[in-house]
Amino acid sequence: MTKLELLHELSDKWSGEKVLSINRLPISGSSREYYRITIRDGSFIGVVNEDREENEAFIAFSKHFRSKGLAVPEIYLTDLDNHAYLLEDLGDTTLFDYLIRARKEDRFSSELLEIYQKVLHELPRFQITAGSDLNYEFCYPRSEFDRQSMQWDLSYFKYYFLKLADIPFNEQRLEDDFNRLIEYLLKQDTGYFLYRDFQSRNIMLRNGTPWFIDYQGGRRGALQYDVASLLFDSKADIPYEVRELLLDHYIRTLDHYMTVNREEFRRSYYAYVLIRMMQAMGAFGFRGFYEKKTQFLQSIPYALKDLRWILENVDLPLKIPTLVGVFHRLLTSRSLKRFKAKEGRKSTLTVFINSFSYLHGIPEDPSGHGGGYVFDCRALSNPGRIEQYMGMTGKDKPVMDFLSQKPEVNEFLSNAFALVDLSVENYEERKFSHLMVSFGCTGGQHRSVYCAEKLAEHLRENQPVQVILWHREQD
């Protein structure tokens, strides 16, 4: 079965209703694929993920958290043999989306502060209440944020960020500092549930209430890590004085669960901020430098801004001179200075590009905004009518060569590029978050695929936007 056939089958098994549409949702940094499945009475989410152990962790955690009354999606149906499951649709608004829309003139409104306080109010319920009797055997890939886990994160930072950004360092001395940091972190109380990726894109807002997703990487660990993940979520760019207020709010919330030495908690908190930031920068390097997904590189200036603030304002609780020296080299690196956040911009526009067959209808806009462009490629020369190209797609070189030699194709794309560029620039200025562009042809195999690929290539090379590309009929 194709993925779409599998989702149709699971939907029929669970709802018994006719599927009206299946639309792929924006991808993130993982290999999981999300689809919104719409039926007459509403919608739900289909997830396809080849990693069975990760699926088992998410499903087990979801059921446990719901039993504790936590706001996580309900699991409707699972098919682990085919690496898929169905779950509750929480909508499209993440905390990050809400943050970008709510902030005006760099101010952090009282409404936005209240949302963050609600989120931090719920965090100890995951960490302490639900974590007290969670079955940690389902944790993947490790049951604790232990020495090995920390070493993986620090190596991620070293090899995928420092090395690829060409930052010089003495490897042995750096490893010595890594070990000092790990020893310090492991002296803290690590007997709680560590969400692992507690950041604004993993928190959904529905009717003003926070809902929580993407906790499948959770394990046992310290309380400080998750609050550090939220408050030093780089592109959220929370004002530093607000971060301090929110940290105080979280510590006061902990008083309802346990006795907290506030001074000691704050001192160790910034050590966890550092390891979380290094893990994030490792991800930026892997996805951006290594995988060439340039949207991840746009987070670098925000991470460096946070790093500078820490070095200038925080008295670190341990001596790590080589690591601090590396941080200073990051801040003065010429190769990293080329990554600059657009002045006044707090978000990245996401452009969804689809190819499709008109036989199966025009794809819906997954952002829920509607609109965008639909370009009809059926007036272009059709390689699908030529026998040697019939079994190929618009991503195969012979088909690409055939279409690139047609003047009408180049003119068509030139006009499409100009229209999309115009909208991208306007949407960026107005701080819009989504734009959808679809290319359709008869079979959704040759012309539409080629045009979608060319637009994606054009935008990645010429615009500071995130590009999500989906060839619907090729799934």
pLDDT tens digits for range 38-72: 999 999 999 999 999 999 999 999 999 999 999 99
Query: Does the structure show a pLDDT above 90 at 342?
Result: no
Distance CA 155, CA 109 (A): 38
Residues contacting 54, CB < 8 A, separation 6+ = 32, 140, 216, 217
Task: Please report where in the chains the tokens 């302490």 appear, as a residue.
Answer: 128
**Same domain flag for 355 and 464:** yes
Measure the CA dihedral 439/445/451/455, to 10°.
80
For position 345, what pLDDT does the model report?
44
Chain segment 239-275, per-residue pLDDT in tens: 999 999 999 999 999 999 999 999 999 999 999 999 9
67, 88, 109 - which closes a domain: 88
Exposed, middle or buried, 81 (CB in 10 Å: 0-12/13-18/19+)?
exposed
> In which residue are the tokens 């989120």 written?
119
Query: pTM here?
Result: 0.75
Is 344 part of a structural domain of the chain?
no
Q: Each residue of 287-306: pLDDT tens digit?
A: 888 877 666 777 899 999 99
**Token output for 337:** 């200075």
363 and 414 both lie in a single domain: yes
- State which amino acid sits at residue 115: I
Please say which residue of 39, 63, 88 terminates a domain.
Answer: 88
Count Cβ atoms below 10 Å from residue 360 Cβ, excluding itself: 14
In 3D, which of 434, 160, 199 has the Cα closest to residue 292? 160
Instruction: Give the single-character DSSP code of 201.
Output: G
55 in a structural domain: yes
Residue 104 phi/psi, 5-degree rounding, is -130, 130
% of the chain at pLDDT higher than 70: 95
Crossing angle of helices 110-124 and 95-102, in 10° steps, is 160
Residue at 182 is within a domain:
yes
The verdict on 327 and 192 lying in the same domain is: yes
- Specify the higher pLDDT residue, 297 or 284: 284
On whether residue 345 sits in a domain, the answer given is: no
Instruction: Please tell me the chain's helix, strand, coil percentages from 3-state DSSP, rounded to the nearest 5.
Output: 55, 15, 30
Match 């955690």 to its residue by tokens. Answer: 61
Show the domain range for 54: 3-88
CATH of the domain at 159: 3.90.1200.10
Which among 436, 449, 261 has a CA at the least distance from the CA of 366? 436
Distance CA 112, CA 239 (A): 12
CA dihedral 428, 430, 436, 437 (to 10 degrees): -60
The strand pair at 434-441 and 350-357 is best described as: parallel
CATH number for the domain spanning 10: value is: 3.30.200.20
- For Cα atoms 466, 107, 342, give the angle at the middle one, nearest 5 degrees: 35
What's the number of domains the chain is made of? 3
Q: Is residue 429 part of a domain?
A: yes
Contact between residue 438 and residue 351 where contact means Cβ atoms under 8 Å apart: no
pLDDT at 64: 98
Q: Are residues 79 and 105 both part of a single domain?
A: no
Give me the phi and psi of 371, to 5 degrees please. 90, -155
| Residues 329 and 267 reside in one and the same domain | yes
Torsion of CA 273, 278, 282, 288, to 10 degrees: 70
Report in angstroms the alpha-carbon separations of 227 from 123, 251, 273, 302, 390: 8, 10, 9, 18, 54
Q: How far apart are CA 214 and CA 209, in angstroms?
A: 17
Which of 283, 304, 337 marks a domain boundary? 337
Mean pLDDT of 339-364: 76
Size (the chain), residues: 475
**Residue 309, pLDDT above cutoff 90:** yes
Same domain, 135 and 76: no
Q: Which helix (H) or strand (E) holds 68?
A: none
Residues 13 and 32 in one domain: yes
17-26, 182-191, 411-420 — which is least confidently predicted? 17-26
Each residue's pLDDT tens digit, 85-122: 999 999 989 999 899 888 766 678 999 999 999 999 99
- Measured distance CA(419)–CA(433) in Å, rounded: 18
Q: Please give the single-letter amino acid code of residue 389.
A: Y
Give me the amino acid identity at 271.
A
- Evaluate if residue 192 carries a pLDDT over 90: yes
Average pLDDT of the chain? 92
Looking at the domain assignment, is residue 343 inside a domain?
Answer: no
Token output for 79:
């098919």
Q: Is the peptide bond before 239 cis (omega within 30 degrees of 0)?
A: no
